[in-house]
Structure 1
Amino acid sequence: MRLLNASADTNLASSKLTLSLASTQKEVREVQRLRYKVFIESMGLSSLKNEERLDKDEFDAYCDHLIVRDSETLKVVGTYRVMSPQAARKMGQFYSEQEFDLSRLNNLRNSIAEAGRACIHPDYRSGAVIMLLWAGLAAFMKKEKCEYLIGCASVSLADGGHNAAALYHSLAENNLAPAEYRVTPHLPFPIAEREAGHVAVVPPLIKGYLRSGAWVCGNPAWDPDFHSADLFMMLPLAKLDSRYARHYLKEAQPA
């Protein structure tokens, strides 16, 4: 099912990128195969390896899957998993609720869309893929009449957690959500005292959220499966930075 009349030129073999929603089980498996390559193989998560070479869970059946495809090779090169309020009700929870208590957001549930499993093929990280995925998120939110976008953003613990702690301390100064939007991690990642002289490295996905106007909604959770500290992030559509709003929402025209 086509979501947008959207495409983008890349400098990779003069190919074009197209955006759509997965409409068959075969396309969902393509998404899961890309996620496996990026999340499990490249990160060396041996505990999650499987013979199917697919990254999948029970949420996949309830979610929509944005696909960016190289229209010349037909290869799936980017994806985002999105969950509507209706899908969350059918599933019984948002994915984030495995890691965070979202009870303070109960009054907003009918207007929340959740995004997760953002994934881009290593050969296509020039920026064009993520721009199309963000346009797809904007279109999805318009279609579902959602006013808030939520999701977990991961920070690797490969360095022992030093960057995760430094990043949280850095973001807590200017990017924390108002108290009424705060969430609580079920398994908190221990936030040590700020290390003197340690400059936080901001992962690209988190940087994109922050530039768009997103909040960090409290302390990070520890995800032992993916060996990461996860920040719960929330972007109110009304807070979307005007530059990004003009770009993303202009592109978000359902076909």
Structure 2
Amino acid sequence: MPEDPTNSDRLREAAIKTVEIGRYLARKAETDADVERAQALRARCFGLAAARDADVFDALCQHILIEDSATGALVCAFRMMPLRGDGLAVGYCAQFYDLSPLGVFEGEAMEIGRFCVEPERRDPDILRMAWGFITRHVEENGVGLLMGCSSFPGTEAARYLDTFALLKARHLAPPHMMPRIKAREVFRFAARLRRRPDNREGLRHMPPLLRSYLSMGGWVSDHAVVDREMNTLHVFTAVDVGAIPEARKRLLRAEA
């Protein structure tokens, strides 16, 4: 089991308030039953045979639930893990990516993971609610870098070539912070693709969470990891909070 790398106690104790917008309410998990509900939603969203999706990182994270205020139904869940400096190497993402180049970042970092939305709910307000909660936490805790794995359904890269070409053309990490290859099976899209992206197709196949990251000035790794256990492809994704455009910051604060 990984060691608690940095400030998880501070994260658990931070004064993160409940956020309520329209018909949805976002709150931190307070009981084991709350975490188990999140794990059950994750299993359904990821198409797992098990009743719950759980791993050793759950104990190090703060779990966030977004519920329908009227019914109490869980519509979205994700987890947050504080990291700093050498602690980047023991987060979930570090299983798949060599993050040593990110050691140049000296501030507070936060890994967002296991982000999932109930498949039958296609309401964009859910994603806005999630980012509103994250924004409030970032500002209350001085987080300077957001990071995570952005997943594509399935393990075949062919359907996403325009998306990967678009990422190569516009959204690669700064060279001095580019994560290095660590996973056994990867698709090195930046090195292999020579095509000009069809922007419309690229955006059509881009996961909503990744689009949100990129709209804030986020960047990605130059390769995608083939994760056959979760039946996904994913790219490492990060956002320098200080570099988010001011107009976008105002929108995020409005949701918080």
Distance 2:131 2:66 in 1: 11
Contact 1:36 1:54 in 2 (8 A): yes
SS of 2:234's equivalent? Answer: strand
Distance 1:134 1:57 in 2: 24
Counterpart residue type for residue 105 of structure 1: L
Structure 1 residue ranges without an equivalent (≥5)? 10-15, 41-47
Matched-pair identity in %: 24
Distance 1:104 1:134 in 2: 26
Distance 1:102 1:212 in 2: 21
CA deviations 1:154-174 (Å, max 9, x no partner) are: 12236x321333322221111
Distance 2:220 2:107 in 1: 21
* Aligned equivalent of 2:17: 4
- Structure 1 residues 93 and 28: CA distance shift in structure 2, 3 A: same
- Structure 1 residues 94 and 148: CA distance shift in structure 2, 3 A: same
CA RMSD of aligned residues (A): 2.4
For the pair 1:246 / 2:256, whether they are aligned, the reply is: no
* Aligned equivalent of 1:207: 211
- Structure 1 residues 121 and 103: CA distance shift in structure 2, 3 A: same
Counterpart residue type for residue 136 of structure 1: F
Structure 2 residue ranges without an equivalent (≥5)? 1-11
Q: How many residues are treated as equivalent by the alignment?
A: 234
Distance 1:232 1:36 in 2: 21
Deviates more, 1:68-77 or 1:198-207: 198-207
Contact 1:112 1:150 in 2 (8 A): yes
Alignment counterpart, residue 223 of structure 2, candidates 219, 223, 228:
219
Distance 2:129 2:26 in 1: 7
Deviates more, 1:132-141 or 1:97-106: 132-141
Could you tell me how far 1:125 is from its partner in structure 2? 2.0
Counterpart residue type for residue 250 of structure 2: R
* Aligned equivalent of 2:110: 113
Contact 1:35 1:117 in 2 (8 A): yes
For the pair 1:96 / 2:96, whether they are aligned, the reply is: no
* Aligned equivalent of 1:177: 173
Could you tell me how far 1:110 is from its partner in structure 2? 4.7
SS of 2:110's equivalent? Answer: strand
Counterpart residue type for residue 16 of structure 2: L
* Aligned equivalent of 1:137: 134
Counterpart residue type for residue 223 of structure 1: D
SS of 1:218's equivalent? Answer: coil
For the pair 1:124 / 2:109, whether they are aligned, the reply is: no
